[in-house]
Amino acid sequence: MTIFEKAERLKQLPPYLFKEIDRKKREVMARGVDIIDLGVGDPDIPTPPHIIDALKKAADDPANHRYPSYSGMPAFRETVAEWYGKRFGVTLDPPTEVITLIGSKEGIAHFPLAFINAGDIALVPSPAYPVYRIATLFAGGEPYTMPLLKENDFLPDLNVIPSDVADRARILVINYPNNPTSATADEEFFSRVVAFARKHGIIVCHDAAYTEMAFDGYSPPSFLEVDGAKEIGLEFHSLSKTYNMTGWRVGFAAGNREGIEGLGAIKSNIDSGVFQAVQLAGIKALRGDQSCVREMASTYQARRDLMISGLKDMGFEVDPPKATFYLWIQVPEGYSSASFATRLLEEAGLVVTPGNGFGEPGEGYFRIALTQTMDRLSETLERLKKMSF
């Protein structure tokens, strides 16, 4: 036995479903094929200049070179509370109901460590961002899958969760606007979640990373807008997608003060907070001119419209999303998610994400990220037109 025998928590992880596609991608690239990568949800548009300028100025100040606060600068948390008030009409107490995160992924991953004991259940959606399930496993909990199905508008059906499972559950995770399905949820659904959580004594974690990437005048609500939500839940936000700051690693959680306190206790023992210069740039982003957000949403809307029109002309089944920069598309008849993604890569140099990579209920779909220019998306459509399905 090797001394580097991996811990059981790593052995519990599902197999890396994208390994074969990554290998094939390298093979195709080695042949000199021009790859168009539509698989990664990483904005191709640069961070707005006024945010970059704020970082440069803050980085020059020696006061920002020392350890930051574990919970985040008071000024950043106050700014988050102001933003919530303006954007959603939600009142937050900055010292107790807001915490700064090294990106929302970090907070989502650490949260179960504060509230999940061995054998506890977390209700997690599928298909979904893999971190929800993995974080539960790392905390010693048992993920219980809530399938997101087209017939339910990709919302979890809370009524089919067995009562004994619900009574054992400690956390329920939701994510709207949704990755990967791009589905949205309204206040009525959030109210049902609150009632369900109250009945069974469950903490709700809402991943709201895509609320600002919305189209056609739609304005996604916050879970915290619903009566009683703050009593049982938290919301996780990120500046990554809203301001094209994926590499900056700054986000925040807001909501129930006991939940924030528990997450803060984990973070204070694991990390040392977010670089203050980045937080100051985040303040500039949240308080500054929001026209950049509207412009980016308009850009993604144009890309969405181009792709939807072209894909429908080719017979693909895809509904125009109201938010996110993803398209969730049914694979043609006769293909699995993986076989279709593999064919696109090998024959057309197109990288898409197979739906089963987000969980078994995602089988039969593939995801396209609209993080390429209009020219590259037009080229994508031209390549697809040359194929027969």
pLDDT digits (tens, 9 = 90+) for 60-77: 999 999 999 989 999 999
Residue 350 bridge partners (DSSP):
36
Q: Please state, in angstroms and rounded to a whole number, the distance separating the CA atoms of residues 110 and 107.
A: 5
User: The tokens of 125 are what?
Assistant: 């959606």
User: Count of residues for the chain?
Assistant: 389
Q: Please state, in angstroms and rounded to a whole number, the distance separating the CA atoms of residues 231 and 221.
A: 18
| pLDDT tens per residue, range 316-348 | 989 999 999 999 999 999 999 999 999 999 999
| pLDDT tens per residue, range 164-199 | 999 999 999 999 999 999 999 999 999 999 999 999
| pLDDT tens per residue, range 248-301 | 999 999 999 999 999 999 999 999 999 999 999 999 999 999 999 999 999 999
User: The tokens of 82 are what?
Assistant: 């102001």
Q: Please state, in angstroms and rounded to a whole number, the distance separating the CA atoms of residues 314 and 323.
A: 23
Geometric angle at alpha carbon 303, from 351 and 213, rounded to 5°? 100
Three-class DSSP category at 86: helix
> Has residue 23 got a pLDDT over 90?
no
pTM: 0.95
Q: Please state, in angstroms and rounded to a whole number, the distance separating the CA atoms of residues 321 and 180.
A: 11
Instruction: Work out the pLDDT band at 20, boundaries 50, 70, 90.
Output: low
Strand 251-255 with 169-175, pairing: unpaired
H/E/C letters for each residue in 154-204? Answer: CCCCHHHCCHHHHHHEEEEEEECCCCCCCCCCCHHHHHHHHHHHHHHCCEE
pLDDT at 224: 98
Q: Report how far apart, in Å, the C-alpha atoms of 68 and of each of 100, 276, 277 are.
A: 11, 6, 10
pLDDT at 9: 86
pLDDT at 153: 97
pLDDT at 14: 74
| pLDDT tens per residue, range 49-63 | 999 999 999 999 999
Q: Establish how many alpha carbons lie within 13 A of residue 81's alpha carbon, considering only the half-sphere containing its beta carbon.
A: 17
Helices 276-287 and 74-88 cross at an angle (nearest 10°) of 20
pLDDT at 19: 67
> Has residue 154 got a pLDDT over 90?
yes
pLDDT at 388: 81
Q: Helices (DSSP H) in the chain: which residue ranges?
A: 8-11, 19-30, 49-59, 74-88, 94-97, 104-115, 131-138, 163-168, 187-200, 229-232, 257-270, 276-287, 291-313, 337-348, 374-385
- Across 343-359, average pLDDT: 94
Task: Identify whether the C-beta of residue 136 lies closer than 8 Å to the C-beta of residue 105.
Answer: no
| pLDDT tens per residue, range 120-138 | 999 999 999 999 999 999 9
Instruction: Classify residue 3 by its DSSP letter.
Output: T
pLDDT at 16: 62
Q: Please state, in angstroms and rounded to a whole number, the distance separating the CA atoms of residues 295 and 101.
A: 26
- Across 229-244, average pLDDT: 97
Average pLDDT over all residues of the chain = 95
> Has residue 8 got a pLDDT over 90?
no
Residues 6+ apart with CB under 8 A from 316: 329, 330, 332
Task: Report all structural domains of the chain as residue ranges with CATH numbers, in order of start.
Answer: 8-46+291-385 (3.90.1150.10), 49-287 (3.40.640.10)
- Across 137-160, average pLDDT: 97
Instruction: Work out the pLDDT band at 1, boundaries 50, 70, 90.
Output: low
Mind giving me the DSSP string for 35-64?
-EE-S-----SPPPHHHHHHHHHHHT-GGG
Cβ neighbours around 287 below 10 Å, total: 13
Amino acid at 258: E
Task: Identify whether the C-beta of residue 284 lies closer than 8 Å to the C-beta of residue 83.
Answer: no
